[in-house]
Amino acid sequence: MLKIRLKRLGAKKNPTYRVIVINSTTKREGRPIQELGHYNPKTKVMKLDKAAALEWISKGAQPTETVAYLIKNCNEDGTLNYVKKDTVKLSKKALAKKQAEEEAAKAAAEAAAAEAQEAPAEA
């Protein structure tokens, strides 16, 4: 079975990848059938022949999850359409602190609402 996957290149802790079509039983750095492009995850720079990749998929080649993501988020000219996430991941401590603050604010709002209901009744 043919796979479209990444071939790792680059120095230690500085990876770059080539997007290749290769037999699934061949090792990661083996000789590819065709090179479709390259991808640098650190700088988010990519150049991919999207038409050739889609052609190989139509012939039955199976892309890996990462390559499928890259093909899906690729512009027509082969560059990556990278959208930085707006949400920030919080640590467990920061998440617990945020939830405690939200609960305290909710309790204060409920107390203020209860006082507002009692005040007209007294008058």
Residues 22, 53, single domain; the answer is yes
By three-state DSSP, how is residue 25 classified?
A: coil
Spell out the long-range contacts of 90-96 with Cβ–Cβ below 8 A and sequence spacing 24 or more: none
Whose tokens are 């560059």? That residue is 79
Structural domain that includes position 106:
85-123
String of DSSP letters for 58-113: HHTPEEPHHHHHHHHTB-TTS-B-----SS----HHHHHHHHHHHHHHHHHHHHHH
Domain boundary among 29, 49, 72: 72
Q: Are 35 and 20 in contact (CB under 8 A)?
A: yes
pLDDT (tens, 9 = 90+) of the chain, 123 residues, equals 999 999 999 999 999 999 999 998 988 788 899 999 999 999 889 999 999 999 999 999 999 999 999 999 888 888 888 777 777 788 899 999 999 999 999 999 888 888 888 766 555
Note the pTM of the prediction, 2 decimals: 0.65
